Amino acid sequence: MEKICVAVRVRPSSSENGSSLWKVEDNRISLHKSLDTPISTASYAFDHVFDERSTNACVYELLTKDIIHAAVEGFNGTAFAYGQTSSGKTFTMTGSETDPGIIRRSIRDVFERIQTIKDREFLIRVSYMEIYNEEINDLLAVENQRLQIHEHLERGVFVAGLKEEIVSDAEQILKLLDSGEVNRHFGETNMNVHSSRSHTIFRMVIESRGKENSSTDAIRVSVLNLVDLAGSERIAKTGAGGVRLTEGKYINKSLMILGNVINKLSESSKLRPHIPYRDSKLTRILQPALGGNAKTCIICTIAPEEHHIEESKGTLQFASRAKRITNCAQVNEILTDAALLKRQKSEIEELRMKLEGSHAEVLEQEILKLSNQMLKYELECERLKTQLEEERRKQKEQEQCIKEQQLKIENLNNLVTNSDFKTNKSEDFVSLRRKPDGRCNVSDSSDVLGTPFFKSAERSFVVARSNYSGLSDFSPMVDSLGDVADEDTWTKLNKGFVADLDQLQFTPAYKRQTTPLTAATAEHLRENHKEVEDLKSQIELLTSEKNSLQVKFHEQVVQNNKLMEQMSEIKQETLPMKEIPKRLFESVGNCKDVYKDVIVTMKTLMGEKESPTGKLIFGATKITTSLLSTLESQFSMIIDGQKSGSNVEHPLSDQWETLLGSLKNTASSLVSDAQAQNKILNSHYKGQEAAAMEEKLKSELSNIKERYNELEKKLSMDKQLLQASRESHEKLEKEVQFLKEERDSLDAAVSQSTQRLRVIASDKENALKDLNVEMKRRKEMEEEIKQISFAFSSRQRSLMSFHNEIKSKMQKLTTQNPKSK
């Protein structure tokens, strides 16, 4: 039993010339009047009193260091700062760059200390939380809000779901603390306002065990809490309203309950009434630190200014009461089975030695001790029972999980059946939609892609510990139990409760529950196995479905390739057609050449250019040249259009008609002109010369006429050919377009089915992964259950034999020494 260590710290005055009202002498603080006469009622003595000039280094050295070192040895430790806002709590706990506070100094000291302990290995986990408006929020993981407090026989009070970070050096923790501070800013514009209205708790869990070849196998677990409380001022003084008022009420409530707890604890321990730890989250978390199994120090900070005098007095009264609290700190050890057996053996040996000395008093003491132990074992048996129950509960959760997986697979099936391949209407889809028992599944198709919710196992205490390779042979105890021990049992445990001998007789005989429990578990396992088999068959079906889809996909690819080939063939066919306009163009060129030859011949025949026949012929020449040029330009346009790939409309087709018309007109006018000319010639030259001339001209004219007719025929044929080629070209173009569309739609269908295949494959993979994880977990669970039942039965056996041994020895003793009774 030891008293809580209480210190007071006065912060420097905020005004320059403010002489403090509080006088500090050694470990006493007193209120002075202006004439330096102390007010008799206002003088308090504490373990330490730190004045304005004190540093955090000094506070740490004198107040906290021992607690930190004890925590490394396996004792729970708590240090907290209490006082009104701006009295220096945060300065003391967190400190400044130049003078780090208790938290930072403790972190560094813990790691320095660990370095010096060579025969033990350590595992350190840290968490950082705040209590704001009676809600616990995780400062290391913003998503963990409104956490709940649970109580466990072995672990004591703990915050469920709080992130515990395993750390290996001081720097890592300091970084975590900084990130925690950032999280504290969340939603608050004024950090100071927030901080003075929330309690923050920084927690280190220090686990250690002896390295190999060391004498003890026990694991030591200690919890170190470093707390910066909210400001303790009254709301009336702050003049708050609205949100601030609500906050104030919560702060006042939790601090008032803290005061109540401290008041009750400070009363004489014999009269000690019920302690209202459960009335606030703060007192529940600090329960072991207040009158429980922990070494605790409180630093009460006061502001020296005159207008804070009432608050300061309040703080000092709180500190005086806290000074009276006694705690019972003991090293927290968890024994492994091997260590427990070793210890029991040595104790029996010791007992035997003492029995041989046969002093009744000593014996009585020993018996008392043993009965105390028996009580402890009883409690442990109870705990094991609850653990087994917890196991069953977990099994149920797993069953639920498997059901959800089944649902997921059914959803996948639906996904497959809902895919709209026209070709995929085969019967095998129907078979998929059926459950193994033949019933049809009618799950909602809108939920097809929804991923079922998998409940992941809580990151339990054991899981956290298993990260620490050195502790793998730790006794198989599940720590994440939600069982809540009542407060009195806990207090009893903390206080080292001693039972009397009579109680030993009244202890009910142990009921061996392992067999039925194991049978029930086995039944669960069998059911689970069946479900796993079902899942497997579902996955097989899915695989076959996937394969058939793949085959279809390949078929489609082949079809697509065929279509592509056809398209290229058609393109090949269209190529010669494209040549037609070119050929026409060339033939027009030839015509032009022939025509030029004719003109040249005519020119040589014509003596006089200025004669009326000459004029006529030159007029006709011009028209024909323009006609041929038009033809040429027409064909070159068609060729250009083909090259650019555009569907050329033929704007010159009207021109064709007009040109042909004008050609005809010119030809007929030429003929009539020639005839008129003939008459004139007949009248003018009636000689032989004239007749010969006329004959020559006539034959030339008919020659030209013939050539012209030939040209016209050729032209109209070419025109027809062009028309036909244009039509067939258009037809082919349409066909190509159609094929293109068909190919595009096929492409889209193929990519859609590929997408689906991918989704199905990934879903299948996920389901398989989940299944594997589930199987693994189940195996671990089975193993754990086996170990627990084995440990349980072996412990029971040893207990019974131990019990029998004692009984027989007692009987022997009573028969040997009937007087000593």
The binding site for ATP comprises 83-90
CB of 60 to ligand ADP, least distance (A): 13
The span from the CA of 90 to the CA of 125, in Å, is 23
Instruction: Give 5 or 302: the residue with its C-beta nearer to ligand ADP.
Output: 302
Q: Tell me which residue has its CB nearest to ligand ADP.
A: 88
Instruction: Give 11 or 323: the residue with its C-beta nearer to Mg ion.
Output: 11
Under a CB-based contact definition with an 8 Å cutoff, are residues 167 and 224 in contact? no
Nearest alpha carbon to residue 163 among 182, 176, 153: 176
The reply to whether 180 sits near ligand ADP by the rule CB under 6 A is no
Instruction: Give 87 or 312: the residue with its C-beta nearer to ligand ADP.
Output: 87
x-or-dash pattern for ligand ADP, window 604-633, by CB under 6 A? Answer: ------------------------------
The reply to whether 88 sits near ligand ADP by the rule CB under 6 A is yes
CB of 300 to Mg ion, least distance (A): 14
Element (H, E) at 416: helix 360-418
CB of 761 to Mg ion, least distance (A): 56
CB of 98 to ligand ADP, least distance (A): 10
The span from the CA of 811 to the CA of 821, in Å, is 11
**What strands lie across the sheet with 38-45, from one edge to the other?**
22-25, 28-32, 38-45
Contact segment (CB under 6 A) with ligand ADP among 82-90, 214-222, 387-395, 811-819 equals 82-90
Residues 730-769 that bind ligand ADP (CB under 6 A): none
Residues 287-306 that bind ligand ADP (CB under 6 A): 301
Nearest alpha carbon to residue 612 among 664, 670, 662: 670
Given candidates 8, 24, 49, 89, which one binds ligand ADP under the rule CB under 6 A?
89
Under a CB-based contact definition with an 8 Å cutoff, are residues 279 and 219 in contact? no
Instruction: Give 87 or 413: the residue with its C-beta nearer to ligand ADP.
Output: 87
Instruction: Give 90 or 144: the residue with its C-beta nearer to Mg ion.
Output: 90
Rounded to 5°, the CA angle 766-770-772 comes to 115
Contact segment (CB under 6 A) with ligand ADP among 84-92, 161-169, 391-399, 744-752 equals 84-92
Annotated binding site: which residue ranges?
83-90
Element (H, E) at 80: strand 77-83
Number of residues that bind ligand ADP (CB under 6 A): 13
12 binds, among ligand ADP, Mg ion, none (CB under 5 to 8 A by kind): ligand ADP
CB of 130 to ligand ADP, least distance (A): 14
Instruction: Give 302 or 760: the residue with its C-beta nearer to ligand ADP.
Output: 302
Given candidates 7, 11, 282, 416, which one binds ligand ADP under the rule CB under 6 A?
11
537: Cβ contacts below 8 Å, ≥ 6 apart: 436
CB of 2 to ligand ADP, least distance (A): 27
Under a CB-based contact definition with an 8 Å cutoff, are residues 343 and 352 in contact? no
The span from the CA of 733 to the CA of 689, in Å, is 65
Rounded to 5°, the CA angle 502-504-507 comes to 115
Calculate the alpha carbon distances from 193 to 95, 132, 145, 187, 339 in Å. 18, 12, 20, 12, 51
Strands 48-50 and 219-228: unpaired
Query: Residue numbers of the site for Mg ion (CB under 5 A)?
Result: 89-90, 195
Widest CA span of the chain, in angstroms? 193
Instruction: Give 96 or 688: the residue with its C-beta nearer to ligand ADP.
Output: 96
Under a CB-based contact definition with an 8 Å cutoff, are residues 50 and 29 in contact? no
Given candidates 74, 77, 83, 291, which one binds ligand ADP under the rule CB under 6 A?
83
Instruction: Name the residue type at position 335.
Output: L
Under a CB-based contact definition with an 8 Å cutoff, are residues 577 and 777 in contact? no
Contact segment (CB under 6 A) with ligand ADP among 88-96, 237-245, 329-337, 490-498 equals 88-96
For the chain, how far is it from start to end, CA to CA, in angstroms? 33
Given candidates 64, 144, 196, 642, which one binds ligand ADP under the rule CB under 6 A?
196
Per residue, the 3-state secondary structure of 162-229, as one string, reads CCCEEECCHHHHHHHHHHHHHHHHCCCCCHHHHHCCEEEEEEEEEEEEECCCCCCCCEEEEEEEEEEC
The reply to whether 90 sits near ligand ADP by the rule CB under 6 A is yes
Burial string for 15-53 (b: 16+ CB within 10 Å, else e) reads eeeeebbbbbeeeebbbbeeeeeeeeebebebbbbbbee
x-or-dash pattern for ligand ADP, window 213-252, by CB under 6 A? Answer: ------------------x---------------------
Contact segment (CB under 6 A) with ligand ADP among 87-95, 607-615, 624-632, 666-674 equals 87-95
Provide the token pair at 16.
Answer: 């320059």
Contact segment (CB under 6 A) with ligand ADP among 81-89, 255-263, 514-522, 581-589 equals 81-89
Residues 426-465 that bind ligand ADP (CB under 6 A): none
CB of 493 to ligand ADP, least distance (A): 35
- Cα pseudo-dihedral 627, 632, 638, 639, rounded to 10: 180
Provide the token pair at 201.
Answer: 């708790």
The reply to whether 12 sits near ligand ADP by the rule CB under 6 A is yes
Instruction: Give 94 or 528: the residue with its C-beta nearer to ligand ADP.
Output: 94
Instruction: Give 89 or 209: the residue with its C-beta nearer to Mg ion.
Output: 89
Under a CB-based contact definition with an 8 Å cutoff, are residues 432 and 416 in contact? yes
Q: Which residues pair with 29 in a beta bridge?
A: 24, 44
Instruction: Give 156 or 231: the residue with its C-beta nearer to ligand ADP.
Output: 231
The span from the CA of 151 to the CA of 497, in Å, is 19
Q: Which residues pair with 207 in a beta bridge?
A: 123, 221
Residues 343-382 that bind ligand ADP (CB under 6 A): none
Instruction: Give 87 or 371: the residue with its C-beta nearer to ligand ADP.
Output: 87
The span from the CA of 436 to the CA of 413, in Å, is 13
The span from the CA of 99 to the CA of 348, in Å, is 54
The span from the CA of 750 to the CA of 754, in Å, is 6
The span from the CA of 256 to the CA of 251, in Å, is 8
CB of 61 to ligand ADP, least distance (A): 15
Instruction: Give 10 or 767: the residue with its C-beta nearer to ligand ADP.
Output: 10
> Which spans in 295-359 are helix H?
309-322, 337-357
Contact segment (CB under 6 A) with ligand ADP among 85-93, 177-185, 215-223, 276-284 equals 85-93
CB of 55 to ligand ADP, least distance (A): 8
60 binds, among ligand ADP, Mg ion, none (CB under 5 to 8 A by kind): none
86 binds, among ligand ADP, Mg ion, none (CB under 5 to 8 A by kind): ligand ADP
Contact segment (CB under 6 A) with ligand ADP among 80-88, 487-495, 553-561, 742-750 equals 80-88
Instruction: Give 302 or 374: the residue with its C-beta nearer to Mg ion.
Output: 302
Under a CB-based contact definition with an 8 Å cutoff, are residues 784 and 475 in contact? no
Nearest alpha carbon to residue 299 among 4, 2, 9, 3: 9
Instruction: Give 74 or 95: the residue with its C-beta nearer to ligand ADP.
Output: 95
Binding site for ligand ADP (CB under 6 A): 11-12, 83, 85-91, 196, 231, 301
